[in-house]
Amino acid sequence: MRRPALYSSSPRAPQSAGEPPAADAPGADAQPTATAVAAPPKPRWQPGARSFAVLVLLSAGLVSGSYLYGVRHTPQKLTQKDIDSAVLRTLQTNTLPSASAKAAEIIRPSVVRVVGYGPEKATPEAKTEKRGRNLAKGKPPEAPDPPGEVERGVGTGVVIVDKGLILTNLHVVAGSEKIKVTFYDGLEAEATVVSVQPENDLAVLQAKKIPDDLIPATMRSTDDLQSGDQVVAVGFPFGIGPSVSAGVVSGLKRAFRSPEGKQELSNLIQFDAAANPGNSGGPLVNMDGEVLGIVTAILNPTQARTFIGIGFAVPIENAASAVGTSPF
């Protein structure tokens, strides 16, 4: 049978040279009577001592770990001074978009270009608008329209219902044989007039095709609107756009008579954001991108039909009634 392994003996202290051998030590020529087997020494680490040491080390590690965890992850209490400092640093190091830019970005997907086609108008206003459109396209002012469809008028509209209902000015589409609208994503579609409100120079169009993700504008009551409130007008002046201009509300409940004196509009919002022929029918919005009114006219005592600082918009309450429902 294989013998079990034995522990090595612990080294003993060396014996002095002059020291006599122990009495019971066998002589060199003594004959051993039996094979002596040394008793196994005690291990250097006894099981009890080892367990105790491991326990001590683990406890020390847990204590130090808990201490470090508490130090590293204890949330720091922020003071108002800390918050103000962080905000100030952000304002100093980051360029934030203006309120007008944010308002324009919100309303832009709901703004459409409206073009009426048909016999060319012979009025001075129509000729002025045509010259402006030609210049915007890089053409000579009196350049004739290409053969085929003739642009009778160019204006703006705003989507108010996601099924393709569009608000615009009646004078933009009146007398047109065909109406086309161009949406934010570039989709062009024919449209028909489904409702008119001549007393407010408004028309409601229905597009025959619409984008899959058409976004209608959000309308806002003008009950709390005040002179001095900031506004943005978005449209296609002389066909260029969508263009954005910013200003303030200059007055409320204004009246305006058309240059020909044939029509007088009342209860209008007066504003000073730049508007020109082609802005007609576009939205006038607040800083949240909510529609307050529909741009309908500009005041100019001459026949120039250009902006001199006074524009008018029909309040959205009147505009919404043209659809046959109130938005509020």
Neighbours of 129 (CB within 10 A): 24
Task: Write the burial class of residue 221 (CB in 10 Å: 0-12 exposed, 13-18 middle, 19+ buried).
Answer: middle
Check if 73 is active-site.
no
Alpha-carbon span 67 to 301, nearest angstrom: 81
Check if 84 is active-site.
no
Catalytic residue among 171, 243, 245, 272: 171
Taking the CA of residue 276 as centre, how many other CA atoms within 13 Å lie in the half-sphere pointing to its CB?
20
CB-CB contact of 308 with 300 (8 Å): yes
Check if 185 is active-site.
no
Q: Which residues pair with 180 in a beta bridge?
A: 115, 190
Strands 264-271 and 178-182: unpaired
Catalytic residue among 100, 176, 201, 243: 201
Query: What H or E segment, with its residue span, contains residue 321?
Result: helix 316-321
Collapsing DSSP to helix, strand or coil, 65 comes out as helix
Task: Write the burial class of residue 203 (CB in 10 Å: 0-12 exposed, 13-18 middle, 19+ buried).
Answer: buried
Alpha-carbon span 53 to 114, nearest angstrom: 87
CB-CB contact of 265 with 200 (8 Å): yes
CA distances from 16 to 27, 28, 60, 201 (A): 17, 18, 46, 129
Return the C-alpha torsion angle 193, 196, 202, 208, nearest 10. -20
Instruction: Return left, alpha or beta for 188; rule: phi > 0 is left, psi -120 to 50 is alpha, else beta.
Output: beta
> What residues have CB less than 8 Å from 182, skipping those under 6 apart?
112, 113, 115, 188
Catalytic positions: 171, 201, 280
